[in-house]
Chain A
Amino acid sequence: MLGHCRLLTSTLRSVSCFAYQGQHRKMYSSQNLTYSVWSKKIKSLKETPRKRFNTDSTLMMAPQVSSTSQRGELSTEPEEWRQPFHLPEPELDWDFLLNPENADMIYKNISNRKGIGDIYKVLNLSKELKKEQDESKKESLRQQLVSEALDIPNFSHPDTVIGDETQAKVVEIVGKMKELKFPPRNVSELAGRGLRMLRDENLTFSTGAKTYYLEDKLAKLERALVAYTIDRLLEKGFELVSVPDLLFPGVINSCGFKTNSGRSQVYQLHEKCLQGACLAGTAEMSLAGYFMNETLAMNELPKRMMAVSRCYRAEAAERAIEKGLYRVHHFTKVEMFGLTADEDGKESEQLLQEILSIEKELFSDLGLYFRILDMPTQELGAPAHRKYDIETWMYGKKMWGEISSCSNCTDYQARRLNIKYMSPSTGHLKHVHTVNGTACAVPRMITSILEQNQEKGRKLPLPQVLWPYMDGEKEFYADMKKSWFTFIKSLRQDA
C-alpha cells in the first residue's frame, strides 16, 4: 500500500495529504525527515490551484450532448452530464515513494506480488525531473513519473503469506463434503442436458464463446439469489444503489484494473461509440466512481453500499476445466462496497472481517460446503492490501472453485479517485479506506448449488432459504422433455 504522502515537487503540482496508518506509518514517518525541504514546498502548493496532470482520453472526456439538447433543450439535461469528465490528480505518497531509503522495501513488496511496477525507474525519473530545465521536457518527464508511480502496487498485509496461489492459507472450512454414491455431474450436464434450463452450446455464431442463456426456472433462480442476498444485506445496514455499467477508462484504471494493457480483462467500446466507454467488470468500479471527488463526514463512516450489476469480463484464458458456466464473459453480481475512516488504522480491517463474516453467513445458509482462504501476495492484484477468497467444492469439476472474494484496498483507490473524509483527530482531510466483497456472483452460485445438491434421480432440491423467492418451489425436476428446437449445423450447398 502506497499510501504515505505529502508532497510532490513544484513541477508535479499535486498535493497529497496522506498519513499512513498503523505499523507502516510509524515505520515510515521517521524516514520522511530527509524530505523536509519538499514538505515546505507543499505548504505553498496547498494554496496553488490544482492543475490537471494529464489530459489524455483516459482522464478527460468531453460531455456527450444529445441531439435533442443540441436543438435547444440543454437545460433539461442534468448539469453533471454537461461537465466533461476529469480524473482527479492521484494523491500518492510522494514523500515515501521518492525516499531512496524506502526503495528496497518497496522493491521487495513488488517482487513478492507479481512484479509489476518499477520503483527504481520512479526514482530515476524523479532525479531527471529535478535536473531538467526545459519546461516541455519537464512536463513529459512528470507524466512519465506519475504513470510509473501509479503502477506501484499497494503494500501487503504483514500476515499475508508470500507466494503464489498454491501458498494460500486455509482459514476455515465450512460444511461437510457429501459422499455421493453416483458419478457426480457438472452444471452443464445437470442444468443443460438434464433440466434443459441452461444453454451454453451452439452460441458461437450469435453471441460468441463463453456466453450462455439461463432459462425458465434457472433464470428465476438467478433473480431469487439476487433478491435473497439483497434482503440479507439490507438487514445488515447496506444501502442499495443501482449503478452505471458504462464507465470511462480513467475510473477503472484508478480502481486498479488496467484498461489499456495488451490482454486487458476490460471490454471497451469503439471510440465512436459513447466516447469509448468501458464496460465495468464489477460494481466495485461503479461504486468507487460514485464517491469520486467526494468528502464524507466522519459520522457517515463506515459507509456500507451494495449494488446489483451486470459484469462484463474479456476473460481470455482458455482452460478446459473452466469451460461451461465457470469462466464467462457476462454475469450478474451483488457487490458489497465499504468506506472507512483511517483513524486508528484498524477500521478497514474490521470492515473486511465484517464483510467476510457476511459472506460466510450467506453461503452457510445456502447449505454450501466451502473454504475460506487468506490469499498470498501474488494473488492480491495491484490494489488489495489483504484479500480473502471463498471457494466451494464443485463436484462435477472435482475442484475448489472461487465463488467470492473480499479485499481491503486501504487508501489505494481513494488516493486515485480523491475520496476523503474530515478527520476529527487532526482536523484535516484524509483519504478514506475502501473495502469490497462479492455477496453473490450468480453463475458460480448456481454451479455450486446445483452441483452440491445433486441427487441420483431426477430431483434437485433447492436450499430452503430460497423457497420464498422461488414462489414456494422447493426443487427442480428433470422431466426429460425433448428440446423444442434443433440447431441447424450445416448449410445448403445450392446457395
Chain B
Amino acid sequence: MTRHQICLMAVTATSLLPFKCLSTIGSTACRLLHANTRTTYSRFSFLNQLKRLARIQFAAHHNSAEKLTFEKQPASWLFVNNTFGGLYGSHVNLELDLENRLSADNIKQLELILRRRGLPADLSSLVDDFTKLRALERQRNGLVSERNEIAEKLKQMKAEHQDHEPGYQAAAHELLTKLTSIKERIKDLQMIWDLEEQVMVRSLKLPNDIHPTTTDEESTVLREVNNLKGSAKTMSHIEIGKKYNLIKFSNVGPKAYYLKGALAKTELALMTSLVRYFQKHKFYFISGPEFFRTNIMEGCGLEVHNPTEVLTILDNVVTQIEPMIHLAGISTATFVAYVAKCCIGDNYLPLNMFSCGRRYQNSHLPGLYGANQTTQVGIFSCLLQEDLDKQFGTNIELIWNFLAPLGFPIRLTQVKAADLQLAERRRVEIQIYAPSLQKYIPIGNVSDLSDFVSRRLMVRHNQNHPDYRFAPMLHMISGTGVNVTALLAVWMEHSNTDLDKFCFLPLPV
C-alpha cells in the first residue's frame, strides 16, 4: 500500500466517523506510515487533514463554546502516549538518562536528592516498572528481529524455489504460521505503551542533581555589603507611592498598579540602562512572546496543571486537544522556547542572551515585591559542560556589578536544596534589603540548569554533526538579571530618608 493510498483511506474514513474513532484510525494510519517510510509521521501533510477533521468532529461532539480545561489534557505533552495522541504524535525525543539514574548504583543517590529537596523519595515502584519496561522492550525487540528474519527467509525461499517444488509449500506454510504467531505476540505487547507512559511521566518529574556547593539546612550568604541605613524612619513603598502620587493601586485586575510620573520614567530609564549594560557585555538581545506551549513549560520542569505555579490561557478558538498556552513573560521559558529543538554551532558558544519586558507570576510577597506583573530583565547562557562553572560565576558578577554600586545593602546568597526548583542544580540570588519588610528580597538570580532542559527539549550543539538528532546536549544557565519593579520599590524605600519630601537617590555614574 502506498503512502498516498494510506493517506486517502485515513482521510476518507475519518470524515465519516465520530470523534471517538479518530484516535484509533489516526494511530493506525500513523503506524502504517511509520513502518512504511521510516520517517516521522508528524511531517506529513495528511496529518494536517486528520487534525482538521478531528477538530471538526471534536467541535461537533462538544459545545463549541466550551473551553478546554486542564482536565482534558494528557498527563504530559513531552511524552505522548500513542493511544491518546496518535493523531498528534510526540514532538521531541526524550533522553532522561534513566538507565544511569535508575541503576542500582545510582538509585540511592537519586533518593537522597529527592529527600534533600523535600520530595517523596520512594522510587521502588518506578524502578520496578522501568525494569519491567526494559524487559518487555527486549522481548519485543527479540520478536521483531525474529519476525524480520522469518520474513527475509520467506523472501529468499520464494526467490530460490518454485511453488511446485516438493516440500516448499509445507516449509513456507510453517514459516507463515510462525510469522503470524510472532505478529500476534508483538501485538499483545502493545501494553508496553501504557507502561512506558507511566514510567516516562513519572521520570519527567525527577529533579535535576544537586550541586555540591548547595547546603541542606540554611541558605548560605556568600558575600554581603552591609550598609543598612535609614530603616527606622522609612515608610513602605506603598505609602510613599500613594503619598507622593507615584503609584496608583487598583482592583481593575489582579494586584493591578499604575506607575506614574517620575516612577514610570525611572522604570523606562532603568530598562534602557540595563539593555545597554548587557549589550556592552556581549549578551545577545532578543525580544519574544510572553506565552509558551505546554511542551516548553514542562521542559523547564514546571507543573503545568498547578495554577499557582503556571498561568494557563483559555483558548476559545481551538477546539481540538493540543498543548495549552501559558502566560509567563520574561523567564527561562523565553530563551528555552527560542533554542528548543535547535542544534547550535560550537563557534557560537557560549551563547549569552538577554531579554527585557513583562513577567507574570504568582508571588506571596506584599506590594510591588509580590505583584503579579513585574518588569524584568532575564539572562540566559547556552554552553558546554566544561564552561558551566566559569560562566555561572561570570553571570553572577555581571548582576552584582550592576546592583552593588547603587549603594543599597546587598548580599549574595546560595539557596538551600529544599528551595531549588525541579530544573535547578543550584541557584544564587542577589538580594537587596527591603526596609519595610526588614528582610532581604531577591532582585536577581542565576540558576544552573545543567542539561535538564536540553534532555527534554532536544537542545544540542555541534552543527557539523552528521545527524543533529544525535548531537551532544547543551548545558544552560538561566536567571533574572534584574527585577526592575522590585528594585524600584526598594529604591523608593531607601530614598525616603526625609519624610517630608521624596526624591530618588541618584544613579551612580
Judge whether B311 and A269 touch: CB under 8 Å.
Answer: yes
Tell me whether A161 is interfacial, beta carbon within 8 Å: no
Contact A273 B311 (CB under 8 A): yes
Contacts A215-B286, A239-B260, A310-B358; A274 near B311 (Cβ below 8 A): yes
Can you name the residue of chain B whose Cβ is closest to the Cβ of A274? B254
- State the Cβ distance, B404 to closest chain A Cβ, in Å: 25
**Residue A308 is within 8 A (CB to CB) of chain B in the complex:** yes
Contact with A along B284-317 (1 / 0, CB 8 A): 1111111111011000000000010011111011
Contact string, A45-67, partner B, CB cutoff 8 A, digits 1/0? 00000000000000001011011
**What residue in chain A is nearest B461 (Cβ atoms)?**
A485
- Complex interface residues of chain A between 255 and 285 (CB less than 8 A to chain B): 262-264, 267-270, 272-277, 279
**Nearest A residue to B267 by beta-carbon distance?**
A242
Q: A194-217: contact bitstring with B at CB < 8 Å (1 yes, 0 no)?
A: 000001001101111001111110
Known A68-B366, A242-B267, A244-B258: A85·B293 in contact at CB below 8 Å: no
B313 and A269 within 8 A (CB):
yes
Does B51 count as interface, using CB distance less than 8 angstroms?
no
If A76-B236, A76-B367, A206-B295 touch, whether A292 touches B252 (CB-CB below 8 Å) is yes
Give the CA-CA distance A268 to B253 in the complex, in Å.
12
Question: Would you call B392 an interface residue if the criterion is a C-beta within 8 Å of the partner chain's C-beta atoms?
Answer: no
Q: Please, which residue of chain A has its CB at the minimum distance from the CB of B365?
A: A68
Instruction: Report B-chain residues with C-beta under 8 Å of the C-beta of A202.
Output: 341
Quick check: B288 and A246 within 8 Å, CB to CB?
Answer: no
B interface secondary structure, majority: mixed
Q: Say if the beta carbon of A360 comes within 8 Å of chain B.
A: no
User: Which of A66, A207, A310, A485 is B339 in contact with, Cβ under 8 Å?
Assistant: A485
Query: Does A81 reach chain B (CB closer than 8 Å)?
Result: yes
B213 interface residue per 8 A CB criterion: no
Q: Which residues of B contact A273 (CB under 8 A)?
A: 307, 310-312, 327
B289–A330 touching, CB < 8 Å: yes
Q: Which of B288, B336, B437 has the most CB of A within 10 A?
A: B288
Interface pair B307/A66, CB less than 8 Å apart: no
Q: Which of B245-264 contact A (CB under 8 A)?
A: 248-261, 263-264
B475 contacts the other chain (CB 8 A): no
- Tell me the number of A-to-B contacts counted with CB atoms below 8 Å: 266
The residue in chain A whose Cβ has the minimal distance to the Cβ of B276 is A471
Q: Are A66 and B366 in contact (CB under 8 A)?
A: yes
Could you tell me if B253 and A277 are in contact, using CB atoms closer than 8 angstroms?
Answer: yes
Residues of chain A contacted by B254 (CB below 8 angstroms):
64, 246, 248, 274-275, 277
B373→A244 contact, CB < 8 A: yes
Q: Which of A276, A289, A486 contacts B252 (CB 8 A)?
A: A289
Q: Indicate whether B370 reaches chain A with its CB closer than 8 angstroms.
A: yes
Let me know if A455 is at the binding interface, CB within 8 A.
no
Q: Does A297 contact B (CB under 8 A)?
A: no
CB-based nearest A residue for B358: A310
CB distance from B292 to the nearest CB of A (A): 6
- B259 & A270 in contact (Cβ 8 Å cutoff): no
Closest B residue, CB atoms, query A495: B93
The reply to whether the CB of B38 lies closer than 8 angstroms to some CB of chain A is yes
Q: Report if A69 contacts B (CB, 8 A).
A: yes
Instruction: Report how far A482 CA is from B460 CA in the complex, Å.
Output: 17
Complex Cα distance A463/B383, Å? 37
Q: List 19 A-B contacts (CB under 8 A).
A: A66-B363, A66-B370, A206-B293, A207-B291, A215-B287, A216-B286, A243-B258, A245-B373, A246-B254, A248-B253, A251-B253, A269-B327, A270-B313, A286-B258, A310-B290, A484-B344, A486-B463, A491-B42, A493-B38
B interface residues with partner A (beta carbon < 8 Å): 34, 38-40, 42-43, 64-65, 69-70, 90-94, 236, 238, 242, 248-261, 263-265, 267-268, 271-272, 275-276, 279, 284-293, 295-296, 307, 310-314, 316-317, 325, 327, 336-345, 347-348, 351, 355, 357-358, 360, 362-367, 370, 372-373, 375, 436-437, 458, 460, 463, 468-470
Given contacts A203-B337, A310-B358, 20 further A-B contacts (CB under 8 A): A61-B251, A76-B236, A207-B293, A207-B296, A213-B288, A219-B355, A239-B261, A240-B268, A263-B317, A270-B69, A270-B313, A274-B372, A286-B252, A289-B252, A316-B317, A329-B289, A484-B351, A490-B40, A491-B92, A492-B93
